[in-house]
Amino acid sequence: MKLQAPPLSLYIHIPWCVRKCPYCDFNSHAGQPDEEAYVEALIADLAADTGDVSNRPVGSIFFGGGTPSLFSSAAISRILVAVREQLQLADDVEITLEANPGTADAGHFAGYRAAGVNRLSIGVQSFDDTMLQRLGRIHTASEAREAFQIARAAGFDNINLDLMYGLPGQAPGMAIDDLRQAIALRPEHLSWYQLTLEPNTAFHATPPPAIPDDDMLGEIAETGIPLLASEGYAQYEVSAYARHDRRCRHNLNYWQFGDYIGIGAGAHGKLTVPGEGVVRRRKERHPRRYMETASAGKALSGENRLQDDDLLMEFMLNSLRLNEGVPAAWFEHRTGLALAAIGQRLALACNQGLIEEDESIIRPTQAGRQYLNDLLLLFS
């Protein structure tokens, strides 16, 4: 089966934060960024990574972190100028930048918009100051609301709010009140997800008290998801909800097993390379080491070609998160494997009522979405 190159995205990692949150397992570091040197490294890293994809249009760009809004608008503009020089961008390219309410100001946001950023993702997490303190956040609820209004005033008409539930000491009613406050702002997109205690985090080493149990978490979800739907927020992925079809194209490309370049400290990439297959790449993780190696065009710290079992598992683990699923033909086009490689597992999932019985699409049923972990186990 011949591989077909899927859509292409670009991820840009900025690893610094004012303070490391105790639940965060991303490659982020508290401290003051060396902005100029890091921008130089990113541009050199990009130049070393574009040889295989220079003729492929990029449909989305995502500045993630860390806290990308720690960087000046001039730095973001310089990065995007280099991206436009080295890559072919789609006319309607989506360019997202993650922002922390504690680092928001009108000048920064207006400058990001002028640089070409057309989507903001604001890490609110909660509108309850007590919850924010327990999460180690540096902002208050009023600062979160103010950051949203600053973004609107700067001309952003596509904004995501990140909101968490299942927080330490949070009753179901408190979680739904958080959600109502987020909805009241009328963002185009909401990422509403459960707090998890990930390995290698402070919360995992020392779990906070009074984490809601499974019954409480179920009650929150059973109330919150219909509330979101009634307010026009359509769920299209496990934790993603959009109004007016303002789905995040960048994240959709991940879930649909698309390709992406990853630049920045610890960034990962996935590329479909003719004659080689699907290749994953990763960059030097520590910011200082990354800047030293990237400036010499040697930021790559590892590369591996996905084997058949990895391709099968990764495709299914991503695509089954989507409510609408994916065309069955994409499995063959994006893995190079025949659909028969998962035929028995699909049949088993169908028999258990977890996947729809439709040969043209791979889509979880309502039960499949409700018991997603059980469904994913069939393909892992």
* Interval 330-380: pLDDT, tens: 999 999 999 999 999 999 999 999 999 999 999 999 999 999 999 999 998
- Residue 16 clears pLDDT 70, i.e. is over it: yes
Q: What is the pLDDT of residue 274?
A: 75
Query: Angle 172-173-174 (CA atoms, 0-180°, nearest 5)?
Result: 90
Q: Where are the alpha helices (DSSP H) in the chain?
A: 35-49, 73-86, 106-115, 129-134, 141-153, 172-184, 202-205, 214-230, 249-255, 287-294, 308-319, 328-335, 343-351, 366-370, 372-377
Among candidate residues 292, 307, 379, the one with its CA nearest the CA of residue 343: 379
Tokens of 40: 């130089």
- Written as one string, the DSSP assignment of 59-120 is EEEEEEES-GGGS-HHHHHHHHHHHHHHSEEEEEEEEEEEE-GGG--HHHHHHHHHHT--EE
Q: What is the pLDDT of residue 229?
A: 98
> For residue 72, what pLDDT band results from cuts at 50, 70 and 90?
very high
Q: What are phi and psi of 311, to 5 degrees?
A: -60, -50
Q: What are phi and psi of 168, to 5 degrees?
A: -55, 120
Strand 300-305 vs strand 277-283: parallel, antiparallel, or unpaired?
antiparallel
Q: What is the pLDDT of residue 57?
A: 96
Q: What is the pLDDT of residue 1?
A: 64
Q: Which residue type sits at 63? A: F
Length of the chain: 380
Tokens of 79: 């990065």
The rounded percent of the chain whose pLDDT value lies above 70 is 100
> For residue 54, what pLDDT band results from cuts at 50, 70 and 90?
confident
Q: What is the pLDDT of residue 52?
A: 76
* Overall average pLDDT of the 276-301 stretch: 95
Tokens of 18: 């004012």
Q: How far apart are CA 223 and CA 49, in angstroms?
A: 45
Among candidate residues 104, 191, 189, the one with its CA nearest the CA of residue 151: 104
Q: What is the pLDDT of residue 288?
A: 95
Contact indicator for 80, 116 with CB cutoff of 8 Å: yes
The rounded percent of the chain whose pLDDT value lies above 90 is 93
Average pLDDT for the chain:
95
Q: 221: which residues sit within 8 A by CB, 6+ positions away?
A: none
Cis preceding linkage at 66, omega within 30: yes
Sign (positive or negative) of CA dihedral 174, 64, 285, 253: positive
* Interval 74-121: pLDDT, tens: 999 999 999 999 999 999 999 999 999 988 888 899 999 999 999 999
First to last CA, the chain: 22
